[in-house]
Structure 1
């Protein structure tokens, strides 16, 4: 059910196609005088072996993302128009990039690869964020159209009860959403279990699906199959797809459309084959501007020496391990995810990043910090004791004494009540948009 000539091609054929596409990418970059001015090493780059000569591109870097900003500005001015989207900057300083219409047409071909050797849905409800300068909603809709299925563009703001009613009335067999949205829907006490009974597939995108949520849905909804809709990014387009034979966290790399470097996150030096490191991405699809060695903020590895997959594709397999450690600036200091988990490990040993959210409420005279912990990980009777223990713990006490830090509050909440972004993701650190009651 696919007209994709490279999906089941030999590794040698895919490599040849990628090499040719990369040569065109470099030639396009060298033809742009403004790019040669801001990135002089491009004049010396001829092949993948020369990539290390180029600077790393990122939404945020030591120069405030200057190179990415220039790429975005140039993409807006390119002839032929295109689709302008918001980058996924984790620091909140989001920027825009415009993908050509040809690029957007090409990514749909990659998006449907996961359906090439299996059953396809008939009635799909799209519960991703519509608008908000995000591209996932439109991308998912185009995939459903390509499959020839019926699409219900519900979006993420319709309300959980109305979504459940829609599933039941339309006999929908598939749902496309973020894992955070799925957790809220399938755990909403106002949703009757029978309303979701027609669902056979849940396709998620935008963030990893935690093992805890996967285990719960597999246990409580045995007729539901969970699959990633794809590993993708706003800035780069699709990176990989998950066939029915791959375990969670593993993806076939779109090797004909994406070059992935695995580097040490501190030195940015290439790592030996098979080792886990940070990804640098170079999309090979033609687009307005030359995105090269883009720093996406994800860690993983390309799995070496695998036999040909049972799905029939010879495309290499990529393992997505997680994000590069997230941080936030508070009281003039950089606070890391690892520090938070380390402090809490003494009180709650079996605690993972998905069990916690740190909410920051910035006010005129400083910032209040709310530590939200999933209620299944923190007994109600232990909440007050944990707050007292954190005030006494050395690292936490030092944090609370930083200038401009106004206090700390511990709260137990259902996982579905964690704050989410406009794209439906659940970040570890989140800046509250509206200030709550002042924390003690």
Structure 2
């Protein structure tokens, strides 16, 4: 199944899943760029994915005793509920805090309940471990950090390894709202590598333009076909991720014989402005001329759509942009060919550069920090 036409095909699939007999769990994915998708998974499907999610513990020499779940509860998201079910499956005690409880109260809870494992997004972890009013003693009981929902940047991994060497960092799993679990990361795999749930998911690696299979071990776009019974079939779904399946991998040290995939990121992150498609790669290429050391995690493009067009705010991490350099960067972008062409498009009302701490970047309802994010529709500004 290819979903290339504004989500129309997926919308039809979602509607069919809502009408299926037997009920189920309706979830929402997307939303950072306005492309929200809804799908209902059967109760049988939801029960079947819990043992898959718990596989990372079945082959690991680690057994958390008290797990604090700081993923987003509600908001039509499934990660919080799935994580809670995994904790129940492995027989640990669960603290269902959620992401909206506030990092200071959560730090107090970690200390009072001697929580040894934290489940959250990397964005939440960055806010928790960098909060000025949280004492290191409050987090001293933590031994494991399991993240999900977005990539964990090299910067955050390096910081935690340096400042919190007792905490082991691992992905809670490679999954999506639409497909369910795709892979798990055992304790012997490095960041970005996962054992594929080959008994539950068929993964094809294809050329993103032709959709033809690439050679074994080569990089390409992932197409996913779920093998688990559900309300509607998900066939060759374009999840938007790229990577490869490793060739000739011997039995892993964890004991698993499942294939190993390498997740390298998104095929391309884009947003539509003034009738044109703007890509993450284009933005980073333009910025590299003035700020060559920027990483995608240092930048966020915020779009404020108004009745007469869209205003852009280019937010850059304050440790990457010198103080009082915003105006100079705005002027440089005005004279740069690609940026100036974008700013002249119909319906593009202007660009403002803002220097901000990463904790101030906008997040989605699921706690993710996307590169492009829409701030909502507002009335025309006066004057």
User: Normalization by structure 1: what TM-score?
Assistant: 0.84
Q: Distance in 2 between matches of 1:438 and 1:177?
A: 38
Q: Rg: which structure is higher?
A: 1
Matched with 2:2 is 57
The yes-or-no answer on 1:210 pairing with 2:140 is: no
Give the 4+ runs in structure 1 shifted more than 4 A.
Answer: 434-440
Match of 2:316 among 373, 377, 381: 373
Within the candidate set 231, 236, 246, 1:293 is matched to 236
Counterparts of residues 154-169 of structure 1 (less than 5 Å): 154-169=97-112
Distance apart, 1:406 and its partner CA: 1.4
Q: What residue in structure 1 maps to residue 88 of structure 2?
A: 145
Deviations 1:165-185 (A, max 9, x none): 111111111110000110111
For 2:326, the equivalent position in structure 1 comes to 383
Residue of structure 1 in register with 2:15 after alignment: 73
- State how 1:247-286 maps to structure 2 within 5 Å: 247-286=190-229
CA separation of 1:437/1:385 partners in 2, compared to 1, >3 Å: closer, same or farther? farther
CA contact (8 A) 2:7 2:35 kept: no
| CA shift digits 1:316-336 (9 cap, x unpaired) | 000000011111111221111
Q: CA deviation at 1:436?
A: 11
Q: Which residue of 2 aligns with 1:113?
A: 55
Does the aligned pair in 1 maintain the 2:306–2:380 contact within 8 Å?
no
Question: Which structure shows the higher helix fraction?
Answer: 1
Cα 1:213–1:85 change in 2 (3 A) is same
Corresponding position of 1:361? 304
Specify the alignment match of 2:349 in structure 1: 406
Provide the rounded CA distance (Å) in 1 between the counterparts of 2:45 and 2:340: 51
Distance 1:227 1:334, change over 3 A: same
CA deviations 1:57-98 (Å, max 9, x no partner) are 33xx22x33332222222122222111111336642322211
Deviations 1:218-244 (A, max 9, x none): 111111110100000111110000000
More strand by share: 2
5+ residue gaps, structure 1 = 1-55
Q: 1:416 aligns with which of 359, 362, 371?
A: 359
Equivalent position of 2:30 in the other structure: 88
Distance of 1:82 and 1:364 partners within structure 2 = 38
Q: CA RMSD in A?
A: 1.8
1:139 to 1:160, Cα distance in 2 relative to 1, 3 A: same
* Distance verdict in 2 for CA 1:377–1:70, change over 3 Å: same
